Amino acid sequence: MNIYVCVGSSCHLKGSYQIIELMKKALEDHGLTDQVNLSAAFCLGKCTHGVTIKVDDEIVTGVSPETFPDIFQKYILTPVKG
């Protein structure tokens, strides 16, 4: 699985670096670092919807520290664990 966190200017200012840290930690905690590639992308084209991530080909917007646990569960943990 490939995850891209947008670090374009707009998402950066909305806290995408914090999301990357949360993502790194969550992947480690669940022992997924070998199965999931995490990269930074320069703009996923959804600049007005909060921090944006892309999980394989699916775009997820409005990621924040509050919404992160649910999003991680739904888009990453559930599909990976099958």
Q: Which of 1, 81, 9 is nearest to 51 (CA)?
A: 9
Task: Please report, as ranges, the residues that interact with other proteins according to CB under 8 A.
Answer: 4-5, 7-10, 12-13, 16-17, 20, 39-43, 45, 47
Q: Least Å distance between CB 38 and other proteins? A: 10
Q: How far apart are CA 39 and CA 41, in angstroms?
A: 6
Judged by beta carbon, residue 16 or residue 75, the one nearer other proteins is 16
Minimum distance, C-beta of residue 29 to other proteins, in the bound complex (Å): 19
Give whichever of 48 and 82 is closer to other proteins, judged by the CB atom. Answer: 48
Return the number of the residue (9 or 78) whose C-beta is nearest other proteins: 9
Are the CB atoms for 39 and 2 separated by under 8 Å?
yes
d(CA 67, CA 57): 20
